Each structure stands twice: as C-alpha cells, then as structure tokens.
C-alpha cells in the first residue's frame, strides 16, 4: 500500500511539473521558457515537501533539506569545482538527498519499505569511503549541468578571481570573499551581505555565485553572514547576528585590508530587510562611535508586515501567478519569524492581524498608501476583513518595530540613512513595498537609485546563469557598488 501511495504521489508531482512548465507566462516576459522552468522547479520543491509530510516527515525541514542539498551542489559546482567529486561517487548522488532528509528530520517509519541496507563498503560515520572516482567526462557533464541550472558568473567573470574563508565574527559564522588582485591592498571597500529565504531557509553556500561575482566585479571584500534562522531562532536572533557581524567588520576592517569608512550592507528579500535593519540600528546607536555605513543595497526587499492588501499581492500572490513568492509564503514567514510557529499565518494571510481602529487612524498606514506607487500600479482592491484585536495586541510590537519591518521607521530615522540602491521586480508580491520604501527614502532626502525590472520575478538574480536579465541585474548591482563604496 505504501509503495502505491508513493507511486501516486510521484505521478502527481510529475504531472504538476508538466503543467507548470507549459503554463503561459504574461506577455512581454523575458525568456519565458527559462522563467517557467525555474517557477516549476520551485513549486515542485514545495509539493515534494508536502508529499513528504504525508509519509511522516516534517514538511519544513524536508523543504530545507532539499533546498540546502541543491545549494551545496550549486556552491560546490560554481565556486569549488573540484569538490563536485563528492556528489559524483557511485550511487551517492541519489542517496545524498535521502540521507540529508533523514538526518535533518529524523526517522520515517513509513519510509522503511523504500530503504535498503547499506553494504559494508558504503560510507559510515567517521570513515572515508573508497570508491571509484568519477571519470573526467562524468565530472564535465555534472559541472556543466549544475552551472546551467544554478548559474555561472555573468559577462565572463571567472570565480577563480575570488577566494574565500569561513570565519567566525564574535560568535557569528561568516564566509569572507576577497578579490585575488586585492589581497595585498589595505584600503579596499567591503560589503556585508545577508541572504534571503524568508528568515527560514538558505545559507551562504547557496549565494556563492552572487557574492563571489560581486566581490570580483566590484573589487571589494564580501562578508556573507550565516545568521540564525527561524523558527528555531525567531526575531530578534537573526537580526542581532547581522548587527554583530557588521559591527565586527567595522571594528576590524584593517585585518581584511578594508577601509572602515568604505563598508556597505546588502541583501535580497528577507536579507534586504536585515540590511536596512542593520543600517537603521547603526545610524541610531552611535554609542560606540563606529564608522558610518557607506551604502545599502536592497534587492526586492521585504520591509513591511502591516498589510497584504496591496496590488502586487492581489495580482501575484495566488497560485498560477508568475511569482515564486506567493502570499502564503509571506504570511508563513511573518508568523515563523515573529512567533517561531505558524499559529498566526491565517490571520496574516487574510489580512486580519491589524485592528480596525489602527487601520482607520494610525500614522503608519500612510507608509503603505498607494499614493506612494506609480500611477500604473495603483488599483482599487476590496479589503474589508475585520481585524482581530487580540491578535493585533499580540503582534503589534513586531510589525511596528522598524528593525522587524523597516518601512515602519519614522521619517526622522530615515533621514540619516546612507545612499541606497533599491531593486524591484514586476512579478513579485513585494514589488509595491519596494516602491513605497524608495519613495519614502527620496521624500526624506536620501540619495536613492531605484531600478525596477519589469517582466521578471522575485529572486531572478539568483538565476543569473540561465536568465540574461539576472546576469545584467547582478552586474548592475556590482557596478553600483564599484562606483559608490
């Protein structure tokens, strides 16, 4: 019975993958077939974790295991080509995912019929495995396939132009990339980078391509921060790690050949939230008299939890939309990051987490007013859900905290912020809040460069190996840093 249930699940997943692959993209979409492939595999990951839940695995950790396994392949194939051998040993490729899932989420009794006993010559904890090394042809095929799926340096940049070390900054794990030609310099600029993933997923290894490319093109040192993730470590744990790592870099810049007055912060999605949160924190807290942040780069950032009643959520938040980031992803991220569980996800999803009185009278509601959007993106939306006063009292200290949702910062706190680069994408539920943030910063005298990429989806920079616009956008970010830091 378990076997046939498994067969049915796999069949449904394959069928849905085919449906996603051939769903028409909106008119004008760049490289629609490539975008469809990426969206399809993203959806498949979510469905695979749902299927795993049906056979007794934990859904969140299964999804993490898949994402991190793929990230390890991407990081190894792109940055450390030689280590792809770890993934090419006989029978290891398929087993790697299974072992990662079972190690991450524990035992799975319903999975027993699909397991097999390890033979005596297979890898055991603490022992090296003696096996046949992959052929040169096998390695070429694997590296080529991984790069086509996950990306290669844009515009011919070679990642051999950077080197990295895994270090610890005051208890926070980081990966430090250095341009090879800047190894002996003492006045280099630097970037502290915070990865995305809804505060729940990913780690620096999955961002090797992006961070090493920026280091190479912009000729700066990049510190990629491995901050703690929710739900195991809800807010403010991850944010505190980001502040700690940035402060360490500001204090110890000389150890890395960096000018402490030429340090910027950056991040994508949830990482954009963390980058602006760090900039706000350090601009307000001057007790240590640290050098000021030189610039911030916010790539399709998540910056508010006040309302999901925005045109971009309305258009791109549902299933079947050309956006990787759906409304339920954002609602789950709010709940997991704030409370460490999904108990409040339904309230966020249905926009019932704000009291009616607050909606009608609070100053902060003007921070998410559609008047801050370009006229072509404004839209009348019916949002008549009654708010839950009890839930609002429970979470208002989160969603009004500018270190949790930076768009809630007062005008007086925005004025001292450094020059800012904001990147938004059209097929993105976070599009509108990115526009609102850019406009509020401009209104408060901040030097802002806002680049909006139409016909592209949330996360497209992470696929710069297969999307031409992803390559160009990543290169543009690096060029901005080269000019501005």
Active-site amino acid positions = 269, 428, 458
* Token couple for 204: 């620096």
Distance CA 298, CA 284 (A): 19
Distance CA 259, CA 96 (A): 42
Concatenated DSSP letters for 60-128? Answer: HHHHHHHHHHHHHHHHHHHT-GGGGGGGTSTTHHHHHHHHHHHHHH---GGGGGG--PPPTTS--TT--
Which spans in 285-402 are helix H?
311-316, 327-339, 345-349, 356-361, 389-399
Contact 296, 418 (CB under 8 A): yes
Helices vs. strands in the chain: H and E counts, helices first: 16, 8
Contact 148, 466 (CB under 8 A): yes
Residue 474 Cα to chain centre, angstroms? 14
User: Tokens 């954002």 appear where?
Assistant: 330
Residues 6+ apart with CB under 8 A from 411: 440, 443, 444
Residues 6+ apart with CB under 8 A from 113: 2, 3
Distance CA 68, CA 390 (A): 37
Residues 6+ apart with CB under 8 A from 439: 372, 373
Distance CA 111, CA 329 (A): 28
Distance CA 405, CA 453 (A): 23
């Amino acid at each position: 019975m378990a076997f046939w249930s498994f067969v049915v699940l796999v069949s449904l997943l394959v069928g849905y993958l085919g449906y996603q692959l051939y769903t028409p993209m909106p008119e004008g979409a760049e490289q629609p077939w490539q975008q469809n492939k990426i969206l399809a595999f993203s959806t498949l990951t979510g469905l695979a974790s749902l299927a795993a839940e049906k056979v007794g695995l934990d859904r969140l950790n299964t999804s993490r295991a898949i994402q991190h396994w793929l990230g390890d392949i991407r990081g190894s194939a792109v940055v450390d080509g030689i280590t792809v051998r770890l993934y090419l040993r006989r029978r290891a490729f398929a087993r790697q995912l299974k072992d990662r899932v079972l190690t991450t989420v524990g035992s799975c009794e319903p999975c027993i019929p699909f397991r097999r006993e390890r033979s005596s010559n297979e890898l055991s904890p603490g022992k090296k495995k003696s096996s046949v090394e992959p052929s040169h042809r096998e390695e070429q095929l694997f590296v080529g396939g991984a790069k086509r799926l996950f990306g290669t340096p844009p515009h011919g940049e070679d990642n051999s132009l950077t080197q990295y070390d895994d270090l610890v900054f005051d208890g926070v794990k980081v990966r430090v990339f250095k341009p090879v030609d800047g190894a002996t310099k003492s006045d280099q600029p630097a970037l502290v980078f915070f990865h995305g993933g809804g505060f729940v997923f990913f780690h620096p290894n999955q961002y090797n391509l992006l961070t090493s490319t920026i280091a190479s093109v912009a000729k700066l040192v990049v510190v990629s921060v491995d901050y703690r993730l929710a739900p195991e470590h809800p807010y403010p744990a991850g944010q505190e790690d980001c502040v700690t790592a940035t402060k360490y870099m500001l204090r110890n810049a000389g150890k890395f050949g960096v000018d402490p007055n030429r340090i910027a912060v950056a991040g994508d999605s949830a990482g954009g939230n963390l980058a602006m949160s760090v900039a706000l924190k350090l601009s307000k807290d001057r007790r240590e008299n640290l050098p000021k942040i030189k610039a911030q780069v916010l790539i399709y950032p998540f910056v508010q939890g006040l309302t999901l009643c925005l045109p971009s959520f309305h258009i791109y938040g549902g299933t079947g939309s050309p956006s990787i980031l759906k409304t339920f992803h954002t609602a789950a991220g709010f709940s997991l990051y704030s409370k460490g569980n999904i108990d409040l996800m339904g309230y966020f999803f249905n926009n019932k987490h704000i009291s009616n009185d607050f909606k009608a009278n609070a100053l902060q509601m003007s921070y998410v007013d559609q008047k801050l959007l370009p006229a072509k993106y404004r839209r009348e939306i019916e949002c008549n859900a009654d708010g839950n006063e009890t839930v609002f009292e429970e979470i208002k200290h989160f969603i009004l905290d500018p270190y949790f949702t930076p768009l809630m910062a007062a005008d007086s706190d925005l004025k001292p912020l450094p020059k800012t680069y904001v990147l938004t994408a059209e097929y993105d539920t976070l599009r509108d809040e990115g526009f609102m943030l850019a406009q509020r910063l401009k209104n408060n005298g901040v030097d802002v460069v806002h680049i909006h990429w139409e016909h592209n989806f949330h996360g497209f920079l992470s696929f710069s190996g297969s999307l031409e616009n992803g390559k160009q956008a990543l290169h543009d970010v690096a060029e901005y840093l080269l000019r501005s830091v």
